[in-house]
Structure 1
Amino acid sequence: MATTSSRALGAAGAAGIALAAAFTLLAPATPAFADSDAKPTYEVKIDLTASALDSSHAPLAAVKSAFGISGSAKARSYEYFDTSALGLNAQGWDVRLRHKSGKDFEESYKKRFPVTGGDIGAALDEANDAGFDSSDTNYDAEVDWGYSKQTLSFSNEKSHSGSGYSGTTLPAASTGRSWLVGEIPGKLEDWNSKNWGKDTLSASAAHGPVTSQVWEGAWESSDDASIEVLPVRNAAGTGTEYVVEVSFKVDDYADAADLHADAISVADAHGWLYHGDILKTQLILDRY
């Protein structure tokens, strides 16, 4: 027969177990840490005025020399796919089909995040919350750094055989769209809701095509420098204007900051600098 003391101890033990169980239920779960923010590369993009071009709409020899550009021009044709209301672009997505002479087609699915007040870290945090973090190796993170504007983007790049297409020829819009829909990445496919991206892209039309000329070289810390001259329909639709962009790709923020300051200084000193940001993608979407 159990004594009063042993019964009391048994009751106390049961109470202790119950109390411990209660604390276990109330205690916060061990937090599940998200993957770290992506580490972006940088592309400095500075626009030049038409004064940087010769009568054939090629960069002046002085312009090429000033920015380490050498060699002959290479052509590339491209177009963007979006609805007439630019539904994809409104959600920060741009879908492009590009063909460089003699190469396979390049399919690009890009998600943009604005950088406010130079706070790249905040943009990376926002992207992380949307599922674009260091663990996703399907997307390359890059900060485009223009005259006064910065944009963080994540690009998913795919290719399609260029067999049967000469030069920079693009396929019929319906064919290009079918390629892009067939290769759509999961993040875009279900961006707003199940199949939203796929349905929107399926209803898209081609904006373009445009064909630009690109000269390449190396300047300061960048071994990937270029000047692109893009003929684009003017706002009135009555003629052509030329967008002139000098760009430099680097991996490091400090190098990008130096290139940004130096490129602006050199272009301004020669009277070539366009004091603003020309967004080529937006021009093509709006004018074609």
Structure 2
Amino acid sequence: MTFTFRATRPAAGGTALALAVAVALLAPTSPAYAAANAVPTYEVKINLTAAALDSAHAPSAAVKSAFGITGSAKARSYSYYDTDGLALDAAGWSVRLRHKSGSSFEETYKKRFPVTGGDIDAALTAANAAGFDSGDTNYEAEIDWGYAKQTLSFSTEKSHSASGYSGTAMPTSTTGRTWLVNDIPGKLEDWGSADWGKNTLQASRAHGPVTAKVYGGAWGPSDDASIEVLPVVGAGGTGTEYVVELSFKTDSYADAAELHEDAIALAETNGWLHHGDILKTQLILDRY
């Protein structure tokens, strides 16, 4: 048996239509590109020893002169909110309520990502995968660059009226928690699962308050230099220890690297350098 195949002529206009369909079927679909990684600013944070303080627990004249500190002391009080088991901290979140004299209350919600081996790009990529990218303008990306450790953080800030509160007075733990829960950002509210962050924050309490004094100035490539002197309760629950943090803010990685190197060298030369990183957030969560 013989089969004969015959080509049929398409109807007028059919060739163009068939070609268009074929092209549409064969053409690759355009991939959906994620937003680029965020671009961070930098804050260099170097801890100094008690040798950097005078008898009034303020930065000594020599320290101020060395690091361009010219401003007078400004007080600020703050507390961190977390559960007794520090569930927010374990998930890389910190929630802070801060009151600067003469200002509204600042509510800060911050998510941290570790920087391993100085690989900032890898940390930014990990943050991008978690939903923190250049397209989210509600959060500010920052690299905290300590003596030996770097941390990437994304923070968003809201405010609450300080009407009825004088100086740096803080609200009760319950009142502060209510403010923070009411203003919780979406990323924290549903972190990991629906309402996890909200439920966790509702079960939190104030760790603190603590009251620090901050002295401002400018040094090297940074026009935002400061020294914070923070008195905290001793590790045993009694007495007072003083945390002294020298910090510089800049938008430039190169400037941050220069500030980090020069500040360490100068503090070391003068016998003021604390060889390590004192994480204030962790210290307050642990001791209060």
Q: TM-score range by the shorter chain?
A: over 0.9
The 1-side partners of 2:197 and 2:63 are apart by: 42
> What's the secondary structure of 1:69's corresponding residue?
coil
Q: How far 1:71 sits from its partner (Å)?
A: 2.4
Q: Which aligned pairs between 1:1-288 and structure 2 lie closer than 5 A?
A: 7-8=7-8, 29-288=29-288
The 2-side partners of 1:109 and 1:243 are apart by: 23
* 1:138-195 CA distance string (max 9 Å, x none): 0010000000000000010111011110000001111100000000000000001011
Q: How far 1:240 sits from its partner (Å)?
A: 1.1
Q: How far 1:18 sits from its partner (Å)?
A: 9.9
Q: How far 1:236 sits from its partner (Å)?
A: 1.0
The 1-side partners of 2:178 and 2:151 are apart by: 29
Q: How far 1:5 sits from its partner (Å)?
A: 6.9
- AA aligned to 1:83 is T
- AA aligned to 2:202 is S
- TM-score computed with the length of structure 1 as normaliser: 0.93
The 2-side partners of 1:75 and 1:284 are apart by: 17
Give the unaligned 5+ runs of structure 1.
none
The 2-side partners of 1:194 and 1:25 are apart by: 40
- AA aligned to 2:120 is I
The 1-side partners of 2:158 and 2:32 are apart by: 32
Q: How far 1:122 sits from its partner (Å)?
A: 0.4
The 1-side partners of 2:7 and 2:214 are apart by: 90
Q: How far 1:55 sits from its partner (Å)?
A: 1.3
Q: How far 1:60 sits from its partner (Å)?
A: 0.6
- AA aligned to 2:30 is T
* 1:82-108 CA distance string (max 9 Å, x none): 001111111100000000011100000
* 1:223-254 CA distance string (max 9 Å, x none): 11000000011111121111000000000000
Q: How far 1:21 sits from its partner (Å)?
A: 7.4
The 2-side partners of 1:281 and 1:22 are apart by: 61
The 1-side partners of 2:85 and 2:26 are apart by: 50
Give the unaligned 5+ runs of structure 2.
none
The 1-side partners of 2:89 and 2:18 are apart by: 57
The 1-side partners of 2:153 and 2:140 are apart by: 8
The 2-side partners of 1:158 and 1:278 are apart by: 26
The 1-side partners of 2:195 and 2:22 are apart by: 44
Higher mean C-alpha displacement, 233-242 vs 123-132: 233-242
Q: How far 1:27 sits from its partner (Å)?
A: 7.0
> What's the secondary structure of 1:36's corresponding residue?
coil
The 2-side partners of 1:21 and 1:82 are apart by: 59
The 1-side partners of 2:88 and 2:266 are apart by: 37
> What's the secondary structure of 1:137's corresponding residue?
coil
Q: How far 1:24 sits from its partner (Å)?
A: 6.5
The 2-side partners of 1:197 and 1:51 are apart by: 41
Change (3 A) 1:18 1:286: farther
The 2-side partners of 1:281 and 1:26 are apart by: 56
Identity %: 72
> What's the secondary structure of 1:159's corresponding residue?
strand
The 2-side partners of 1:269 and 1:126 are apart by: 38
Cα RMSD between the aligned structures? 2.3
The 2-side partners of 1:148 and 1:25 are apart by: 55
The 2-side partners of 1:164 and 1:117 are apart by: 47
